[in-house]
Structure 1
Amino acid sequence: MTDSDPDEIMAAVARRGDVLEVVGGDGTRKRDLVASLDISRSTVDRAVRELEGTGLVERTTDGYRRTLAGELALREYRRFADHVAGVLECRPLLAELPPDTPFDGALVDGCEVVRPTRHSPNRPVTRLTDLVRRARDVRAFGPAVFPQQVDAYHESIVDRGMEAEILLAEAVVERLVSSYSRALSEALDTGKLAVRVADGPLPYSLTVAETADGPAVGLLVYADGGSVSGYLGNDGPEAVRWAEREFERRWDRGRPLSGIGES
């Protein structure tokens, strides 16, 4: 085996991944690779030579097979490729956020993306609202609030007994107090809602919900003018853990609702 740095190994897997996939762990002959992949014998020869040179495959009496290093490298490459695919799918949403925005890569792994359309501009907000309606416990923060969200939280807290901790921008809290005072008071009176005011700007709306199907994360991203750019959803364990930590970090710095208007 020749010495190779990680970049060379990953480049080899990227170039020869189709061959590495088919080789398997039991041994595959070159003629079978040609037939399975519908490529020329010369291409197979070059691929096998490169993979063997980096220690990702080895020759046996039954043909060529993946080594343990090849198995692990292929597994990591698949994971990397899936992650990049998630990044590319979310690219229109990520483009709305500054480069230093707190945002973990786990959020894009296997994510669901919902964009507004000409005929359904509210699709992202509706998707996040649906998550709230399915939840028995919600922790959320955001720089904006929409009427359908107010209705969903009110009904879920007052009628279903959902528990919620919500951190909002000060202007949003003031709007709730002035425009939705009755709904807000009724929800607060249940003792199941806690509201805090954020200590600074919030880059997006994030919701961590505990549902009958397990925990899930929903996130709304906004364009420069304040319109909703899209919804990103994820129920992966790593995404949920990161979202919980991010909420707790911001929640701990917030101040209680009772602080509004006090001198």
Structure 2
Amino acid sequence: MSASSGVLQVVHKRLDILRYVCDQHPSKRKLADAASKSRATVDRAVRELEEHDLVYRTDGQCKPTLAGAKACELYVDVEESFAVLDDVTPELSALSPDADLPSTLFRDGSVFQPPARAPYERIEPLYEDLSRADSLVAVTRVFLSPYVDQTMSRGASGEMDLELLVDEEMIDAMPDAQHSVLRECIDSGATVYAVDEPPDYTLFLVDGERLYVALYADSNHLSAVIQNTGTRAVEWAADRLSRLQRRATQLSAASV
């Protein structure tokens, strides 16, 4: 067994003890009380962590080494990323295995889910961000109401700098009222593109710093939204949108 796999196994086994040591620097007695475990069990756990140079004892206290603190941070980061992944597994399983969704989306991400059945309540963090944004770059293959309505309305009024990439088929299926708003968007300075093969998810990049990835159920209603403000996730989204723009067709008001 490699040294790294040994550390991984002991952190997995003793995470509750290691986290408490990192947070509180407790005595072993206090550690046993907090962990609701016997003194003998805590002694074994601390010895295991000491053997892997993750904690040490000094002046009656258990403290993390730098390696222990970093091991705890890394493990918790992975654990939280898997929690995000677990929340959206049904939606991701419906996508192609080749779908361009990087693992960075699940690091430091949050998941919002509307009710499973109608009426579908709007996801307030997303709606509020779209209501306040100064700029938005978005791509969508389905008409997500009320989010796309809000986006086009603010773009048409000039309240927001908008770059909107939409599926060609979605444009054709729009009712007259939405065609009218889309034309107003373009007349007001928004840039609207038609995309012949958009991704099977919606991206909203808000003010260049907040990313929302909207995932759909089979019926094309919104099923889950991942929110992420991490640098890598935002940079991936900006690059993905830029690549889509390069092969899209910019629309004029007359062509809508």
TM-score, normalization by structure 1:
0.82
- Is 1:69 equivalent to 2:67 in the alignment? yes
Query: Could you say if the C-alpha distance between residues 227 and 40 of structure 1 is closer, same or farther in structure 2, counting changes exceeding 3 Å?
Result: same
- Aligned residue for 1:188? 186
Match of 1:220 among 214, 218, 228: 214
- Aligned residue for 1:162? 160
Q: Counterpart of 2:112 in 1: which secondary structure?
A: strand
Q: Counterpart of 2:134 in 1: which secondary structure?
A: strand
Which AA in structure 2 matches 1:232? I
CA-CA distance at 1:178 after TM superposition: 5.9
- Aligned residue for 1:105? 103
Which AA in structure 2 matches 1:140? A
Percent identity, aligned pairs only, is 30
Q: How many Å separate the matches in 2 of 1:182 and 1:25?
A: 57
CA-CA distance at 1:8 after TM superposition: 2.0
- Aligned residue for 1:248? 242
- Aligned residue for 1:10? 8
CA-CA distance at 1:23 after TM superposition: 3.0
Q: How many Å separate the matches in 2 of 1:23 and 1:4?
A: 25
User: Contact conserved, 1:127 with 1:231, CA < 8 A, in 2?
Assistant: no
What is the 5 A alignment of 1:38-53? 38-53=36-51
CA-CA distance at 1:107 after TM superposition: 2.5
Query: Could you say if the C-alpha distance between residues 256 and 160 of structure 1 is closer, same or farther in structure 2, counting changes exceeding 3 Å?
Result: closer
User: Contact conserved, 2:135 with 2:161, CA < 8 A, in 1?
Assistant: yes
Which AA in structure 1 matches 2:100? P
Which AA in structure 1 matches 2:220? G
Of the structure 1 ranges 144-153 and 48-57, higher mean CA displacement relative to structure 2 is found in 144-153
- Aligned residue for 1:19? 17
User: Contact conserved, 1:140 with 1:206, CA < 8 A, in 2?
Assistant: yes
User: Contact conserved, 1:215 with 1:235, CA < 8 A, in 2?
Assistant: yes
Q: How many Å separate the matches in 2 of 1:33 and 1:81?
A: 23
Query: Could you say if the C-alpha distance between residues 209 and 120 of structure 1 is closer, same or farther in structure 2, counting changes exceeding 3 Å?
Result: same
Q: How many Å separate the matches in 1 of 2:75 and 2:144?
A: 41
- Aligned residue for 1:207? 204
- Aligned residue for 2:223? 229
- List gaps (5 residues or longer) in structure 2: none
User: Contact conserved, 1:116 with 1:123, CA < 8 A, in 2?
Assistant: no
CA-CA distance at 1:16 after TM superposition: 1.0
- Aligned residue for 2:113? 114
User: Contact conserved, 2:110 with 2:228, CA < 8 A, in 1?
Assistant: yes
State how many pairs are aligned. 253
- Aligned residue for 2:93? 95
User: Contact conserved, 1:116 with 1:230, CA < 8 A, in 2?
Assistant: no
Q: CA RMSD in A?
A: 2.9
CA-CA distance at 1:40 after TM superposition: 0.8
- List gaps (5 residues or longer) in structure 1: none
Q: Counterpart of 1:101 in 2: which secondary structure?
A: coil
User: Contact conserved, 2:141 with 2:170, CA < 8 A, in 1?
Assistant: yes
